[in-house]
Amino acid sequence: MTVSDKVKLKPGDTIGILGGGQLGRMLAMAAARLGLKCQVFSPDPDSPAFDVVLNATCAEYADVEALELFANDVDVITYEFENVPAATAMVLAARRPVLPAQKILETTQDRLIEKNFVKRLGIDTADYADVSSAETLQSAIARIGLPAVIKTRRFGYDGKGQAIIREGDDPVRIWEELGTKSAILEAFVSFEREISVIAARSADGHVECYDVTENEHRDHILKFSRVPAAISDELAAQARAVAEKIAHALDYVGVLAVELFVVAGNGGPHVLVNEVAPRVHNSGHWTLDGASVSQFEQHIRAIAGWPLGKPIRHGQVTMTNLIGDDILDYEQWLTVPGATVHLYGKGTPRPGRKMGHVTEVAPASKK
């Protein structure tokens, strides 16, 4: 019997959420609609998720006493970010079920371990190599070629902790600037498009995937998601099969996102996995207004031990992220016919900060 088999919440029970950002906030709102309470744990007193729950714990992730008290107050624990420290997860898992399971974090917190795991499943990724010094970077470049992308193994997001190395660049300088001892070098992928699959898996192994999302980034940050992705049905099925395989292999419970590159090939386009996110994901925000059950609700259902919903898409959907000063246009967005506006209640709009998003659904043209 695994941890997840034991969880069966009733309406009125409490879910503990680690992390107080917009993902935690939207998880808590989805839980409330299902009659479940949430308690949010975050070290940041300005956490947007605190605004939507009655009970919050504002403490450091290393504060064992606070973690224990938090665990005592809740029935199951989940998280909205993948960099939950291992020691934090261990303290919590000793007291309450943590879903997705703690061991999944070990795979997804480290790009090298994650890529090796995906490869072992027979799923394609860009070529990559382990890099731990300027010398190993030189030999990785010799094997993989240029251009290539160097990425820190841990704690990278929205393009942070990575750099492109081109012909003529000085790899030693780039290595020193990266300021890490553990990285991977990845072949640069000339992709046709970027897509993602949001998948939910329940404790009994049932998987529901959303329609494949096409993603457009600006300055490494997601700007638009469009659904359905402009790819063939066969490729979409392939992408969903990849996500399903990963979810089963991780014995996953909850929602996960798989980011993929679509690349041209002799036998037609195919997909390469870029990254696996063990959580609800920005490219799944469209599901709040564009599908019968949102990614947030699916995650809550999965970790509560409840049946997953069958996600039915309402039409052609565009999600636009409001990043930094984009938020200043919120009143204009409020007047756009058919647009649904989500504001995260964050204070200062810094460049690159995700402040809200807007969903537009065109119901007529279902694919």
Task: Say whether 168 counts as a known binding-site residue.
Answer: no
What angle do helix axes 86-93 and 64-73 make, rounded to 10 degrees? Answer: 40
Q: Which of 2, 45, 5, 38 is nearest to 23 (CA)?
A: 38
Q: Is the peptide bond before 147 cis (omega within 30 degrees of 0)?
A: yes
| Burial tier of 249 (Cβ tally within 10 Å: 0-12, 13-18, 19+) | middle
Instruction: Name the residue nearer to ligand AMP (CB basis): 220 or 350.
Output: 220
Q: Minimal distance in Å, beta carbon 214 to ligand AMP?
A: 12
Instruction: Name the residue nearer to ligand AMP (CB basis): 193 or 314.
Output: 193
Q: Minimal distance in Å, beta carbon 212 to ligand AMP?
A: 15
Q: Minimal distance in Å, beta carbon 170 to ligand AMP?
A: 20
18 neighbors 267 (Cβ within 8 angstroms)? no
Give the tokens for residue 82. Answer: 């993948």
Task: Say whether 79 counts as a known binding-site residue.
Answer: no
Instruction: Name the residue nearer to ligand AMP (CB basis): 194 or 211.
Output: 194
CA-angle at 257, arms to 107 and 197, nearest 5°:
135
Q: Is the peptide bond before 85 cis (omega within 30 degrees of 0)?
A: no
204 neighbors 168 (Cβ within 8 angstroms)? no
The H or E element that residue 215 is part of is strand 213-218
Task: Say whether 52 counts as a known binding-site residue.
Answer: no
CA 221 to chain centre: 13
Task: Say whether 56 counts as a known binding-site residue.
Answer: no
56 neighbors 50 (Cβ within 8 angstroms)? yes
Q: Minimal distance in Å, beta carbon 206 to ligand AMP?
A: 28
Instruction: Name the residue nearer to ligand AMP (CB basis): 204 or 219.
Output: 219
86 neighbors 105 (Cβ within 8 angstroms)? yes
Q: Minimal distance in Å, beta carbon 172 to ligand AMP?
A: 21
Task: Say whether 142 counts as a known binding-site residue.
Answer: no
For tokens 């207004």, what's the residue?
289
Sheet strands (E) in 86-144 = 128-131
Q: Minimal distance in Å, beta carbon 192 to ligand AMP?
A: 12
Task: Say whether 156 counts as a known binding-site residue.
Answer: yes
Task: Say whether 332 counts as a known binding-site residue.
Answer: no
Task: Say whether 324 counts as a known binding-site residue.
Answer: no
Can you give the binding site for ligand AMP, defined by CB under 6 A?
Answer: 126, 149, 156, 159, 186, 188-189, 194, 217, 220, 259, 274-275
Instruction: Name the residue nearer to ligand AMP (CB basis): 156 or 352.
Output: 156
270 neighbors 263 (Cβ within 8 angstroms)? yes
Give the tokens for residue 5. Answer: 């088999």
Instruction: Name the residue nearer to ligand AMP (CB basis): 156 or 345.
Output: 156
Task: Say whether 35 counts as a known binding-site residue.
Answer: no
Question: What single string gives the DSSP state of each residue in 254-283?
Answer: EEEEEEEEEE--TTS-EEEEEEEESS--GG
Select the residue whose beta carbon is closest to ligand AMP and give its number. 189
Instruction: Name the residue nearer to ligand AMP (CB basis): 128 or 252.
Output: 128
Q: Minimal distance in Å, beta carbon 159 to ligand AMP?
A: 5
Residues in the annotated binding site:
111, 151, 156-162, 186-189, 194, 217, 274-275
Could you tell me which residues are annotated as the binding site for ATP?
111, 151, 156-162, 186-189, 194, 217, 274-275
